[in-house]
Amino acid sequence: MAMLSPSRRLRRTPFSQGVEAQGVKGYTIYNHMLLPTVFESVEADYRHLKDHVQVWDVSCERQVELRGPDAMRLMQTLTPRDLRGMLPGQCLYVPIVDETGGMLNDPVAVKISDERFWISIADSDLLLWVKGIANAYRFEVIVDEPDISPLAIQGPKSDELAARVFGEDIRTLRFFRYGYFHFEGHDVLIARSGFSKQGGFEIYVEGTDLGMPIWDALFEAGKDLNVRAGCPNGIERVEGGLLSYGNDMNRDNTPHECGLGRFCNTQTAMGCVGRDALLRVAKDGPIRQIRPIAIKDRIAPCDRAWSIMDRDRKIGQITSAAWSPDFDCTVAIGMVRMTHWDPGTELRIETQEGPVTGIVQEQFWI
Protein backbone atom coordinates (compact mmCIF):
# COMPACT_ATOMS: atom_id res chain seq x y z
CA MET A 1 0.00 0.00 0.00
CA ALA A 2 1.14 3.57 -0.66
CA MET A 3 2.22 5.78 2.26
CA LEU A 4 0.02 8.11 4.31
CA SER A 5 0.73 11.70 3.29
CA PRO A 6 1.34 13.70 6.45
CA SER A 7 -0.77 16.82 7.00
CA ARG A 8 -2.20 18.88 9.83
CA ARG A 9 -5.43 16.82 9.74
CA LEU A 10 -3.50 13.63 10.52
CA ARG A 11 -2.35 14.71 13.93
CA ARG A 12 1.06 13.74 15.32
CA THR A 13 1.32 13.06 19.05
CA PRO A 14 3.62 14.13 21.91
CA PHE A 15 5.38 10.76 21.49
CA SER A 16 5.68 10.60 17.68
CA GLN A 17 9.39 11.35 17.87
CA GLY A 18 9.96 8.40 20.20
CA VAL A 19 7.72 6.12 18.15
CA GLU A 20 9.69 6.93 14.99
CA ALA A 21 13.04 6.44 16.75
CA GLN A 22 11.84 2.94 17.79
CA GLY A 23 11.24 2.01 14.16
CA VAL A 24 7.45 2.08 13.73
CA LYS A 25 6.60 0.20 10.51
CA GLY A 26 2.87 0.88 10.13
CA TYR A 27 0.25 3.37 11.20
CA THR A 28 -3.51 3.59 11.09
CA ILE A 29 -5.60 6.70 11.60
CA TYR A 30 -7.84 6.76 14.69
CA ASN A 31 -9.74 9.86 15.80
CA HIS A 32 -7.86 11.78 13.09
CA MET A 33 -4.58 10.92 14.78
CA LEU A 34 -1.64 8.59 14.10
CA LEU A 35 -1.86 5.21 15.84
CA PRO A 36 1.04 2.78 15.35
CA THR A 37 0.01 -0.74 14.27
CA VAL A 38 3.33 -2.58 13.95
CA PHE A 39 6.94 -2.27 15.11
CA GLU A 40 8.87 -5.51 14.39
CA SER A 41 6.01 -7.62 12.98
CA VAL A 42 2.51 -8.19 14.34
CA GLU A 43 3.54 -11.69 15.49
CA ALA A 44 6.85 -10.60 17.02
CA ASP A 45 5.12 -7.66 18.77
CA TYR A 46 2.50 -10.13 20.10
CA ARG A 47 5.11 -12.49 21.56
CA HIS A 48 6.94 -9.58 23.16
CA LEU A 49 3.73 -8.08 24.62
CA LYS A 50 2.81 -11.40 26.26
CA ASP A 51 6.33 -12.01 27.67
CA HIS A 52 7.73 -8.61 28.59
CA VAL A 53 6.50 -5.00 28.75
CA GLN A 54 5.67 -2.41 26.12
CA VAL A 55 5.03 1.33 25.98
CA TRP A 56 2.17 2.32 23.65
CA ASP A 57 1.44 5.71 22.14
CA VAL A 58 -2.36 5.68 22.40
CA SER A 59 -2.73 9.46 22.20
CA CYS A 60 -5.55 8.77 19.72
CA GLU A 61 -7.70 7.74 22.70
CA ARG A 62 -8.80 11.39 22.80
CA GLN A 63 -10.64 12.80 25.79
CA VAL A 64 -14.02 14.48 25.55
CA GLU A 65 -14.19 16.59 28.71
CA LEU A 66 -17.46 17.49 30.45
CA ARG A 67 -17.06 20.35 32.91
CA GLY A 68 -19.79 22.09 34.93
CA PRO A 69 -22.71 21.47 37.32
CA ASP A 70 -24.57 19.27 34.78
CA ALA A 71 -21.54 17.11 33.86
CA MET A 72 -23.02 14.09 35.67
CA ARG A 73 -26.49 14.52 34.13
CA LEU A 74 -24.97 14.79 30.66
CA MET A 75 -22.85 11.68 31.22
CA GLN A 76 -25.94 9.69 32.28
CA THR A 77 -27.85 10.99 29.24
CA LEU A 78 -25.18 9.46 27.02
CA THR A 79 -24.99 5.93 28.45
CA PRO A 80 -27.32 3.13 29.62
CA ARG A 81 -24.80 2.20 32.36
CA ASP A 82 -26.03 3.41 35.76
CA LEU A 83 -23.45 5.92 36.98
CA ARG A 84 -24.98 6.79 40.35
CA GLY A 85 -22.40 4.84 42.32
CA MET A 86 -19.42 6.15 40.37
CA LEU A 87 -16.83 7.97 42.50
CA PRO A 88 -13.85 10.16 41.65
CA GLY A 89 -10.87 7.84 41.18
CA GLN A 90 -12.91 5.38 39.12
CA CYS A 91 -12.97 4.53 35.43
CA LEU A 92 -15.89 2.70 33.79
CA TYR A 93 -16.33 1.10 30.39
CA VAL A 94 -19.53 2.77 29.12
CA PRO A 95 -21.44 2.00 25.92
CA ILE A 96 -22.68 5.24 24.33
CA VAL A 97 -25.92 4.89 22.34
CA ASP A 98 -28.19 6.99 20.12
CA GLU A 99 -31.99 7.23 20.36
CA THR A 100 -32.39 3.84 18.62
CA GLY A 101 -29.99 2.14 21.02
CA GLY A 102 -27.30 2.04 18.32
CA MET A 103 -23.69 2.12 19.43
CA LEU A 104 -21.98 5.49 18.88
CA ASN A 105 -18.80 4.68 20.79
CA ASP A 106 -17.51 2.39 23.58
CA PRO A 107 -15.23 4.61 25.66
CA VAL A 108 -13.76 4.51 29.12
CA ALA A 109 -15.31 7.20 31.33
CA VAL A 110 -13.00 8.74 33.92
CA LYS A 111 -14.62 10.60 36.82
CA ILE A 112 -12.35 13.44 37.94
CA SER A 113 -14.94 15.07 40.25
CA ASP A 114 -18.72 15.50 40.47
CA GLU A 115 -18.44 18.31 37.95
CA ARG A 116 -15.75 16.91 35.67
CA PHE A 117 -15.55 13.77 33.52
CA TRP A 118 -13.24 12.61 30.75
CA ILE A 119 -14.63 10.31 28.09
CA SER A 120 -11.69 8.40 26.61
CA ILE A 121 -13.14 7.69 23.20
CA ALA A 122 -12.87 4.99 20.55
CA ASP A 123 -12.77 5.89 16.86
CA SER A 124 -15.84 8.07 16.17
CA ASP A 125 -16.43 11.82 16.37
CA LEU A 126 -18.23 11.62 19.68
CA LEU A 127 -17.55 15.26 20.61
CA LEU A 128 -20.12 16.40 18.05
CA TRP A 129 -22.89 14.20 19.48
CA VAL A 130 -22.04 15.23 23.06
CA LYS A 131 -22.08 18.94 22.19
CA GLY A 132 -25.41 18.47 20.39
CA ILE A 133 -26.97 16.74 23.38
CA ALA A 134 -25.57 19.28 25.87
CA ASN A 135 -27.04 22.16 23.89
CA ALA A 136 -30.38 20.54 23.05
CA TYR A 137 -30.96 19.73 26.75
CA ARG A 138 -29.65 23.17 27.79
CA PHE A 139 -27.26 21.55 30.28
CA GLU A 140 -24.90 23.81 32.16
CA VAL A 141 -21.71 22.16 31.00
CA ILE A 142 -18.72 22.88 28.79
CA VAL A 143 -17.77 20.15 26.33
CA ASP A 144 -14.40 20.16 24.63
CA GLU A 145 -11.30 18.14 23.76
CA PRO A 146 -8.44 18.99 26.12
CA ASP A 147 -4.90 18.19 24.97
CA ILE A 148 -4.47 14.94 26.86
CA SER A 149 -2.57 12.02 25.38
CA PRO A 150 -2.73 8.58 26.99
CA LEU A 151 0.48 6.56 27.07
CA ALA A 152 -0.03 2.91 27.96
CA ILE A 153 2.32 0.50 29.72
CA GLN A 154 1.18 -3.06 28.90
CA GLY A 155 2.53 -6.54 29.51
CA PRO A 156 3.37 -8.83 32.46
CA LYS A 157 6.27 -6.64 33.63
CA SER A 158 4.14 -3.46 33.72
CA ASP A 159 4.03 -3.20 37.51
CA GLU A 160 7.80 -3.46 37.79
CA LEU A 161 8.40 -0.80 35.14
CA ALA A 162 5.75 1.58 36.47
CA ALA A 163 7.02 1.21 40.05
CA ARG A 164 10.55 2.16 38.99
CA VAL A 165 9.38 5.39 37.34
CA PHE A 166 6.34 6.41 39.40
CA GLY A 167 7.02 4.79 42.81
CA GLU A 168 6.12 1.57 44.59
CA ASP A 169 2.61 2.79 45.52
CA ILE A 170 1.43 2.23 41.98
CA ARG A 171 1.46 -1.54 42.58
CA THR A 172 -1.56 -1.26 44.87
CA LEU A 173 -3.73 0.54 42.32
CA ARG A 174 -6.83 -1.57 41.50
CA PHE A 175 -8.21 -2.39 38.03
CA PHE A 176 -10.03 0.58 36.47
CA ARG A 177 -9.01 2.90 39.30
CA TYR A 178 -6.65 5.83 38.94
CA GLY A 179 -4.40 7.86 41.19
CA TYR A 180 -1.97 10.75 40.92
CA PHE A 181 1.72 9.87 40.85
CA HIS A 182 4.82 12.05 40.86
CA PHE A 183 6.99 12.62 37.85
CA GLU A 184 9.66 15.36 37.83
CA GLY A 185 7.64 17.72 40.02
CA HIS A 186 4.30 17.02 38.31
CA ASP A 187 1.29 15.00 39.49
CA VAL A 188 0.22 12.72 36.66
CA LEU A 189 -3.04 10.79 36.47
CA ILE A 190 -2.39 7.07 35.96
CA ALA A 191 -5.07 4.35 35.73
CA ARG A 192 -4.73 0.58 35.82
CA SER A 193 -6.32 -0.10 32.43
CA GLY A 194 -5.44 -0.57 28.78
CA PHE A 195 -6.41 -2.25 25.54
CA SER A 196 -4.82 -5.63 26.22
CA LYS A 197 -5.41 -8.55 28.58
CA GLN A 198 -1.77 -8.55 29.72
CA GLY A 199 -2.30 -5.96 32.45
CA GLY A 200 -0.83 -2.52 32.81
CA PHE A 201 -1.44 1.19 33.13
CA GLU A 202 -2.49 4.24 31.18
CA ILE A 203 -0.82 7.58 31.87
CA TYR A 204 -3.01 10.55 30.91
CA VAL A 205 -0.29 12.97 29.80
CA GLU A 206 -1.45 16.61 29.79
CA GLY A 207 0.01 18.78 27.04
CA THR A 208 3.06 17.94 24.94
CA ASP A 209 6.01 19.03 27.10
CA LEU A 210 5.96 16.03 29.44
CA GLY A 211 5.53 13.53 26.61
CA MET A 212 9.08 12.72 25.62
CA PRO A 213 10.49 13.04 29.19
CA ILE A 214 8.04 10.34 30.39
CA TRP A 215 8.69 8.22 27.29
CA ASP A 216 12.45 8.44 27.78
CA ALA A 217 12.24 7.72 31.53
CA LEU A 218 10.27 4.51 30.85
CA PHE A 219 12.79 3.28 28.29
CA GLU A 220 15.76 4.19 30.49
CA ALA A 221 14.27 2.43 33.56
CA GLY A 222 13.16 -0.63 31.60
CA LYS A 223 16.34 -1.60 29.77
CA ASP A 224 16.84 -4.82 31.73
CA LEU A 225 13.10 -5.60 31.45
CA ASN A 226 13.45 -5.65 27.65
CA VAL A 227 10.94 -2.78 27.31
CA ARG A 228 9.96 -1.93 23.73
CA ALA A 229 7.58 0.36 21.93
CA GLY A 230 4.35 -1.44 21.06
CA CYS A 231 0.76 -0.80 20.10
CA PRO A 232 -2.65 -2.43 20.43
CA ASN A 233 -2.01 -5.85 18.93
CA GLY A 234 -4.43 -7.32 16.41
CA ILE A 235 -3.84 -10.91 17.56
CA GLU A 236 -3.87 -10.40 21.33
CA ARG A 237 -6.98 -8.21 21.33
CA VAL A 238 -9.02 -10.77 19.35
CA GLU A 239 -7.83 -13.56 21.69
CA GLY A 240 -9.03 -11.36 24.57
CA GLY A 241 -12.35 -10.37 22.97
CA LEU A 242 -11.61 -6.65 23.13
CA LEU A 243 -13.93 -5.03 20.61
CA SER A 244 -12.87 -2.41 18.09
CA TYR A 245 -15.48 0.25 17.33
CA GLY A 246 -15.96 0.65 13.57
CA ASN A 247 -14.63 -2.87 12.99
CA ASP A 248 -16.65 -5.17 15.24
CA MET A 249 -19.63 -2.90 15.80
CA ASN A 250 -21.14 0.40 14.74
CA ARG A 251 -24.37 2.39 14.86
CA ASP A 252 -26.34 -0.60 13.47
CA ASN A 253 -25.65 -2.60 16.64
CA THR A 254 -27.08 -2.41 20.14
CA PRO A 255 -24.82 -3.00 23.16
CA HIS A 256 -26.64 -6.32 23.67
CA GLU A 257 -25.67 -7.50 20.19
CA CYS A 258 -22.08 -6.59 21.08
CA GLY A 259 -22.15 -8.66 24.27
CA LEU A 260 -22.00 -5.43 26.25
CA GLY A 261 -25.34 -6.01 27.99
CA ARG A 262 -23.41 -6.49 31.25
CA PHE A 263 -22.35 -2.83 31.04
CA CYS A 264 -25.99 -1.64 30.72
CA ASN A 265 -28.48 -1.01 33.54
CA THR A 266 -31.20 0.23 31.26
CA GLN A 267 -33.95 -0.01 33.90
CA THR A 268 -32.24 2.43 36.23
CA ALA A 269 -30.19 4.54 33.80
CA MET A 270 -32.72 7.36 33.96
CA GLY A 271 -32.43 9.96 31.24
CA CYS A 272 -30.32 7.95 28.78
CA VAL A 273 -31.45 8.94 25.28
CA GLY A 274 -31.48 5.32 24.11
CA ARG A 275 -33.34 4.02 27.16
CA ASP A 276 -36.76 3.32 25.59
CA ALA A 277 -35.25 1.60 22.58
CA LEU A 278 -32.96 -0.51 24.77
CA LEU A 279 -35.71 -1.50 27.21
CA ARG A 280 -37.31 -3.31 24.28
CA VAL A 281 -34.19 -5.24 23.21
CA ALA A 282 -33.24 -5.91 26.83
CA LYS A 283 -36.63 -7.62 27.31
CA ASP A 284 -36.62 -9.90 24.26
CA GLY A 285 -32.85 -10.26 23.86
CA PRO A 286 -30.94 -9.70 20.64
CA ILE A 287 -31.39 -11.91 17.56
CA ARG A 288 -27.73 -11.72 16.58
CA GLN A 289 -24.66 -11.39 18.79
CA ILE A 290 -20.89 -11.21 18.76
CA ARG A 291 -19.18 -14.58 19.11
CA PRO A 292 -15.60 -15.85 19.24
CA ILE A 293 -14.98 -18.08 16.21
CA ALA A 294 -12.00 -20.38 15.58
CA ILE A 295 -10.83 -21.23 12.06
CA LYS A 296 -8.16 -23.91 11.65
CA ASP A 297 -6.76 -22.46 8.41
CA ARG A 298 -4.22 -19.64 8.43
CA ILE A 299 -5.77 -16.74 6.51
CA ALA A 300 -4.41 -13.24 6.00
CA PRO A 301 -6.17 -10.63 8.21
CA CYS A 302 -9.37 -9.20 6.74
CA ASP A 303 -9.73 -5.55 5.68
CA ARG A 304 -13.43 -6.14 4.95
CA ALA A 305 -16.08 -8.31 6.56
CA TRP A 306 -16.24 -11.98 5.59
CA SER A 307 -19.79 -13.21 5.06
CA ILE A 308 -20.96 -16.23 7.04
CA MET A 309 -23.32 -18.26 4.85
CA ASP A 310 -25.91 -21.00 5.32
CA ARG A 311 -26.30 -22.21 1.72
CA ASP A 312 -27.14 -18.95 -0.10
CA ARG A 313 -28.38 -17.09 2.96
CA LYS A 314 -26.12 -14.69 4.88
CA ILE A 315 -26.39 -15.41 8.59
CA GLY A 316 -23.56 -13.26 9.90
CA GLN A 317 -20.13 -11.83 9.27
CA ILE A 318 -16.57 -12.00 10.57
CA THR A 319 -15.31 -8.52 11.46
CA SER A 320 -11.81 -9.22 12.85
CA ALA A 321 -9.48 -12.19 12.40
CA ALA A 322 -5.82 -12.97 13.02
CA TRP A 323 -3.56 -16.02 13.14
CA SER A 324 -2.81 -16.92 16.77
CA PRO A 325 0.55 -18.61 17.41
CA ASP A 326 -0.49 -19.59 20.95
CA PHE A 327 -3.83 -21.18 19.99
CA ASP A 328 -2.65 -22.51 16.62
CA CYS A 329 -5.70 -21.29 14.70
CA THR A 330 -7.13 -18.13 13.21
CA VAL A 331 -8.96 -16.39 16.06
CA ALA A 332 -11.92 -14.30 14.94
CA ILE A 333 -14.75 -12.06 16.11
CA GLY A 334 -18.05 -12.33 14.27
CA MET A 335 -21.67 -11.21 14.52
CA VAL A 336 -23.87 -14.31 14.19
CA ARG A 337 -27.65 -14.87 13.97
CA MET A 338 -29.23 -16.73 16.89
CA THR A 339 -29.93 -19.80 14.72
CA HIS A 340 -26.18 -20.34 14.40
CA TRP A 341 -24.64 -18.87 17.58
CA ASP A 342 -24.47 -21.93 19.88
CA PRO A 343 -20.94 -23.07 20.83
CA GLY A 344 -19.77 -25.85 18.54
CA THR A 345 -21.81 -24.68 15.54
CA GLU A 346 -19.90 -25.04 12.26
CA LEU A 347 -19.99 -21.94 10.06
CA ARG A 348 -19.16 -21.53 6.38
CA ILE A 349 -17.11 -18.36 6.04
CA GLU A 350 -16.31 -16.71 2.72
CA THR A 351 -12.83 -15.22 2.96
CA GLN A 352 -10.80 -13.50 0.26
CA GLU A 353 -8.93 -16.81 -0.03
CA GLY A 354 -12.10 -18.84 -0.53
CA PRO A 355 -14.56 -20.63 1.81
CA VAL A 356 -13.33 -21.97 5.19
CA THR A 357 -15.00 -23.57 8.19
CA GLY A 358 -15.25 -21.76 11.52
CA ILE A 359 -16.45 -23.08 14.86
CA VAL A 360 -18.34 -20.97 17.41
CA GLN A 361 -16.43 -20.95 20.72
CA GLU A 362 -17.81 -21.00 24.26
CA GLN A 363 -15.68 -17.98 25.24
CA PHE A 364 -12.80 -15.84 24.06
CA TRP A 365 -9.35 -17.34 24.34
CA ILE A 366 -7.90 -15.13 27.08
Assess 150 for contact with ligand THG (CB under 6 A).
Answer: yes
| Residues in CB range of 235: below 8 A, 6 or more apart | 42, 43, 46, 322, 323, 324, 325, 331
198: which DSSP letter?
S
Site for ligand THG in 13-32 (CB under 6 A): none
**Is residue 365 a contact residue for ligand THG (CB under 6 A)?**
no
CB of 193 to ligand THG, least distance (A): 5
For residue 203, what are the contacts with CB-CB under 8 A and spacing of at least 6?
150, 151, 152, 153, 188, 189, 190, 214
The residue range among 132-140, 192-200, 313-321, 357-365 that interacts with ligand THG, by the rule CB under 6 A, is: 192-200
Q: Name every residue whose Cβ is closer than 8 Å to that of residue 220 and which is 6 or more positions away in sequence.
A: none
Using rule CB under 6 A, residue 202 touches ligand THG? yes
Residues that bind ligand THG (rule: CB under 6 A) add up to a total of 16
What is the smallest separation between the CB atom of 150 and ligand THG, expressed in angstroms? 5
Q: Which of 16, 193, 351, 361 binds ligand THG (CB under 6 A)?
A: 193
By the rule CB under 6 A, 107 interacts with ligand THG: yes
Nearest to 281 by CA among 253, 251, 249, 304: 253
The answer to whether 35 contacts ligand THG (rule: CB under 6 A) is no
From candidates 194, 230, 316, 358, binder to ligand THG by CB under 6 A: 194
CB of 97 to ligand THG, least distance (A): 15
Tell which one of 28, 37, 176, 186 touches ligand THG (CB under 6 A): 176
Instruction: Tell me how crowded residue 329 is: count the other CB atoms within 10 A of its CB.
Output: 18
Q: Should residue 159 be labelled a site residue for ligand THG when binding is judged by CB under 6 A?
A: no
Please say which residue, 162 or 299, places its beta carbon nearer to ligand THG. Answer: 162
Q: What is the pattern of x (binds ligand THG, CB under 6 A) and - over residues 270-299?
A: ------------------------------
Rg, C-alpha atoms of the chain: 21
Q: Which is nearer to ligand THG, 120 or 351 (CB)?
A: 120
d(CA 156, CA 168): 16
For residue 177, the 8-state DSSP code is B
| Strand order from edge to edge, sheet including 142-144 | 91-93, 108-113, 116-120, 63-67, 142-144
> What does the alpha-carbon distance between residue 6 and residue 11 come to, in Å, rounded to a whole number?
8
Q: Which residues pair with 288 in a beta bridge?
A: 337
Judged by CB under 6 A, the stretch of 3-11, 188-196, 213-221, 304-312 that binds ligand THG is 188-196
122 touching ligand THG, by CB under 6 A: yes
CB 201 within 8 A of CB 190: yes
Stretch that binds ligand THG, among 67-75, 76-84, 116-124, 331-339 (CB under 6 A): 116-124
Q: Which residues bind ligand THG (CB under 6 A)?
A: 61, 93, 106-108, 120-122, 150, 176, 193-195, 202, 242-243
